[in-house]
Amino acid sequence: MILLPVLALLLGFVLVYMFKLSVPPDYTDYVAVAILAGLDSVVGGVRGVLDHRFEPIVFVTGFFMNTAVAALLVYAGDRLGVNMYLPAIVALGVRIFYNLGHIRRSLLDRIMHRPLEHPSEAPEGFVAPPSP
Amino acid sequence: MGEKEVLNSHLRGWRPHLRLKPKDWVVPLTAASLVLGMMLALQFGSQKSAGELAGRPRVELLAQLLAAERKRIKDLDSEIVKLRSEKSKYEKAATEGKQVLTLMNKDNEMYKVALGLTPVVGPGIIVRVDDSTLPHEAGAAADEFLIHDFDLWPIVNDLRSAGAEAVAIGDQRVVGTTAITCVGRVVKVNDAPLSPPYEIKAIGSIKELTGALTIKDGVLDRLKAQRFPVNLEQGENIYIPAVSVGPKVKFAKPTKEAPK
């Protein structure tokens, strides 16, 4: 199940790469920002799954809105003479790394603080509090 | 609190170990990953093609050069036929009047040297210039590291103004109708593509030719300032080949006076 998104990523890459599609050089900046926004959404989604507050509809709308808006914002910035490329990359980059850190800690938490199945697994000297 | 939760209550930061039903997140996350992968490939493809564009001569350019070379070979073939027929004509004339011919021949030789129709030997200099050997910085235009036609023009010009009697770039004699041009990344002289390092040979007074090029802030100084390797050599027996395709006169007609 975890592998399915990873496989989809590879499949999408191979599909487009096989057909040798490419965007005009003028638009590579916008695609780059869109990719970063998409990556931010996916990383945020994974974090949501681990935090048990993943909402499919929120994720899907967020993914497509964020990619489109990020690219449009940079495009609009170019038209207006304001370089939005760098701020967009910084903002998205900070979020991606923050969420990646959260995911890592969440996963480590699961491995190290695995819930115990039987009293015999309890640490030495552990005394169960009286049940209320 | 159930027994199990009490058992685990010593764990810091422990959250109820709920298992989210995979069907909730697998489909949206997979769909998003698919789109992300496609966008990545799209970007990857464009970045690569941009690099290829800058790094390699394009196929069209090579096709153009090939066509030009084929045309040149055809021209040379017809030149051979023409010269053979002329030779036999002269040989016939030689049997008729030897004296006139000797005189004509002497004149002819002089014109042939001036027009570049015959190979010549004499004292002179050889200049070698090459594309820059500096490491190519990312983002710098590749053009700045190459020798162009406009780098060769002033060399030829300065040599001529210093009284060079014959000039050649590579194996191409520079004559009155010679064009030195750039097609893409290739310098063409007399329509023949040359490749760096470019060797410019000139016959004339060694002192004057050397002086014209090595004068302070002269053409060689300017090339050196741009970090192009430059090398100047002097010789008593510089060989300069004949022009490969003789002059073709199609439009110009000789006249005695300017038309009114």
User: Does B104 score more than 80 pLDDT?
Assistant: no
Q: What is the pLDDT of residue B14?
A: 46
Flag whether B191 is in a domain.
Answer: yes
Q: What is the mean pLDDT of residues B106-132?
A: 86
Between the ranges A16-25, A54-63, B12-21, where is the mean pLDDT highest? A54-63
Using the predicted structure, report yes or no on whether residue B13 has a pLDDT greater than 50: no
Burial of B128 (0-12, 13-18, 19+ CB in 10 A): middle
pLDDT at B2 over 60: no
Q: What is the pLDDT of residue B18?
A: 46
B207 in a structural domain: yes
Q: How far apart are CA B172 and CA B157, in angstroms?
A: 16
Contacts of A119 in chain B (CB under 8 A): 7
- Integer Cα distance of A66 and A37 in angstroms: 6
pLDDT tens-digit profile of B149-166?
Answer: 888 898 999 999 888 999
pLDDT at residue number A103 = 92
In this predicted structure, the answer to whether residue A44 has a pLDDT above a threshold of 90 is yes
Q: Where in the sequence is the domain holding B68, given as residue range(s)? A: 61-240
Interface of A with B in 26-55 (CB under 8 A): 28, 31-32, 34-35, 38-39, 41-42, 45-46, 48-49, 52, 54
CB-CB neighbors (< 8 A) of A13 in chain B: 37-38, 40-41, 44
Please give the average per-residue pLDDT across B203-220, as a whole number.
86
Return mean pLDDT, chain B.
80
Q: Using the predicted structure, report yes or no on whether residue B76 has a pLDDT greater than 60.
A: yes
pLDDT tens-digit series, residues A91-100 = 999 999 999 9
Q: Is residue B18 part of a domain?
A: no
Predicted confidence at residue B252, as pLDDT, reads: 87
Is residue B258 in a domain?
Answer: no
Number of domains within chain B: 1
Residues of chain A numbered 91-110 and touching chain B (CB < 8 Å)? 109
Residues of chain B in contact with residue A120, where contact means CB-CB under 8 angstroms, are: none
CA B18, CA A131: separation in Å to the nearest integer?
A: 22
Least confident segment among A46-50, B80-84, B220-224: B220-224
User: Would you say residue B41 lies in a domain?
Assistant: no
B13 falls within a domain:
no
Q: Which residue has the higher pLDDT, B121 or B96?
A: B121
Q: In the numeric block, which tokens belong to residue B39?
A: 């966008």
Least confident of A59-68, B56-65, B72-81, B140-149: B56-65
The ipTM assigned to this model is 0.77
**Residue B138, domain CATH:** 3.30.70.1880
Which has the higher per-residue pLDDT, B93 or B57?
B93
In terms of CA atoms, which chain A residue is nearest residue B18? A52
Rounded to 10 degrees, the C-alpha dihedral B26/B28/B34/B36 comes to: -120
Residue B38 has its nearest CB partner, among A12, A20, A52, at: A12
Domain positions in chain A: 24-113
Distance from CA of A50 to the nearest CA of B (A): 9
Q: Which of B12, B25, B37 sits opposite A49 (nearest CB)?
A: B25
pLDDT, one tens digit per residue, over B182-192 is 887 788 888 88
Instruction: Confirm whether B42 is domain-assigned.
Output: no
Contact A131 B17 (CB under 8 A): no
Provide the CB-side half-sphere exposure for B189 (13 A, CA).
24
The residue assigned the tokens 């690219």 is A71
User: Chain A residue with minimal CA distance to B19?
Assistant: A52
> Does A102 or B224 have the greater pLDDT score?
A102
With an 8 Å Cβ cutoff, is A65 touching chain B? no
Q: What is the pLDDT of residues A79-130, one digit of tens each?
A: 888 888 899 999 999 999 999 999 999 888 888 876 666 666 666 666 666 6
Using a CB-CB cut-off of 8 Å, the residues of chain A touching B20 are: 49, 52, 54
For residues B244 and A63, the model is more confident at A63
- For A60, which residue in chain B has the nearest alpha carbon? B28
Do B45 and A20 make contact, defined as CB atoms within 8 angstroms? yes
Is B2 in a helix, a strand, or coil?
Answer: coil
The C-alpha angle with vertex A127 and arms to A121 and A129, in degrees rounded to 5, equals 115
**pLDDT on residue B3:** 58
Over residues A33-41, the mean pLDDT reads: 94
Report chain A's mean pLDDT, rounded to a whole number. Answer: 86
